[in-house]
């Protein structure tokens, strides 16, 4: 994505309020036959003090689930899970108290605080944060909090915090439930095939220039990728578009979502594909709130057929083939 220069007003208070749920009050107990557990604790009372050291310790191509339990704390490190480390469950004590952060910007891939390349992954109760654009005087540029470049990844009660390109939803099937996502520019972007269920989306634009929540990158009509947001909530400082087309067949659906007045009346931007909007699939169904008023929406926003709507809204048809979500360990 291209850099977009304006300064972020941090919304840590909103993050704290949202993440303060009953799920945060206890460490989740994960039970899975044959599983292993590794403890990461900054105080030295676990197996490792660094998360990356715990990941490196896991054998390549392991056949059983490994629980990496991360004790509360702020872990200042980049974490990379390579392709040969599948079946990892990364769990913090809560998304308020367990934070992985790093301050690296300028590259939409290499700058990511957390990078996932291995299939079959679960994260719970943890926040991924890139502090680069949050530092005073730093120009806004690519600074992902997380890069998800693998199939069958799910995230429960997690936080993703940055300004530009916060969540690189790059490739594969992904499920996000009750997560918090904060940013200003293209902060949910990529060619993932993903469902966001009950997530909080905080738009932290400042300076008057509009931001963009999504920048989906579907390449062709046969490409099965897309972002589906179900029963989510959008709020913040705004103003912002729901999305701009990063590729010519970009596909995004908001369903049953509460939208504050941070959403601009037009709703969507064709960006580099002005005049080719017929291939872009942007839709809103049963949304509410002042930002959901479609009276001044772009004329090329799509009205999905009942068949297309059922396909996109049903996890089993859109992302959950082989029932991989049910087979993963969870709280």
- The contacts found for 35-40 with CB under 8 angstroms, 24 or more apart, are 35/64, 35/65, 35/66, 35/67, 35/89, 35/329, 36/64, 36/65, 36/66, 36/67, 37/66, 37/67, 37/69, 38/66, 38/67, 38/68, 38/69, 39/69, 39/71, 40/68, 40/69, 40/70, 40/71, 40/75
Q: Which residues are catalytic?
A: 165, 186
Q: How far is CA 324 from CA 119, 151, 316, 327, in A?
A: 11, 10, 10, 5
DSSP state of 165: S
Tokens 């992902």 map to which residue?
A: 144
In sign, the C-alpha dihedral spanning 192, 278, 231, 205 is: positive
């Amino acid at each position: 994505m291209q850099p977009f220069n304006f300064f972020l007003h941090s919304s840590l208070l909103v993050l704290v309020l949202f993440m303060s749920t009953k799920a945060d009050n206890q460490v989740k107990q994960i039970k899975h036959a044959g599983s292993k557990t590794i403890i990461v604790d900054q105080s030295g009372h676990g197996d490792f003090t660094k998360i990356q050291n715990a990941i490196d310790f896991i054998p390549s191509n392991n056949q059983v689930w490994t629980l990496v339990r991360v004790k509360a704390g702020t872990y200042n490190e980049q974490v990379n899970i390579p392709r040969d480390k599948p079946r990892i469950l990364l769990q913090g004590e809560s998304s308020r108290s367990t934070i992985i952060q790093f301050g690296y910007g300028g590259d939409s891939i290499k700058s990511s605080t957390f990078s996932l390349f291995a299939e079959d992954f679960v994260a719970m109760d943890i926040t991924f944060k890139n502090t680069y654009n949050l530092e005073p005087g730093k120009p806004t540029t690519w600074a992902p909090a997380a890069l998800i470049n693998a199939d069958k990844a799910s995230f429960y009660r997690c936080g993703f915090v940055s300004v530009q390109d916060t969540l690189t939803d790059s490739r594969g099937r992904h499920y996000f439930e009750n997560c918090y996502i904060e940013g200003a520019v293209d902060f949910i972007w990529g060619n993932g095939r993903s469902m966001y269920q009950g997530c909080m989306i905080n738009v932290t634009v400042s300076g008057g220039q509009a931001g963009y929540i999504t920048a989906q990158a579907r390449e062709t009509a046969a490409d099965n990728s897309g972002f589906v947001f179900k029963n989510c909530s959008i709020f913040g400082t705004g103003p912002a578009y729901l999305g701009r087309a990063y590729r010519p067949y970009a596909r995004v659906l908001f369903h049953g979502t509460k939208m504050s007045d941070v959403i601009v009346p037009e709703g969507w931007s064709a960006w580099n594909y002005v005049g080719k909007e017929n291939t872009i699939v942007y839709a809103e169904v049963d949304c509410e709130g002042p930002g959901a008023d479609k009276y001044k929406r772009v004329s090329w926003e799509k009205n999905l057929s009942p068949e297309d709507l059922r396909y996109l809204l049903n996890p089993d048809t859109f992302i959950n083939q082989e029932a991989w979500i049910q087979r993963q360990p969870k709280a």
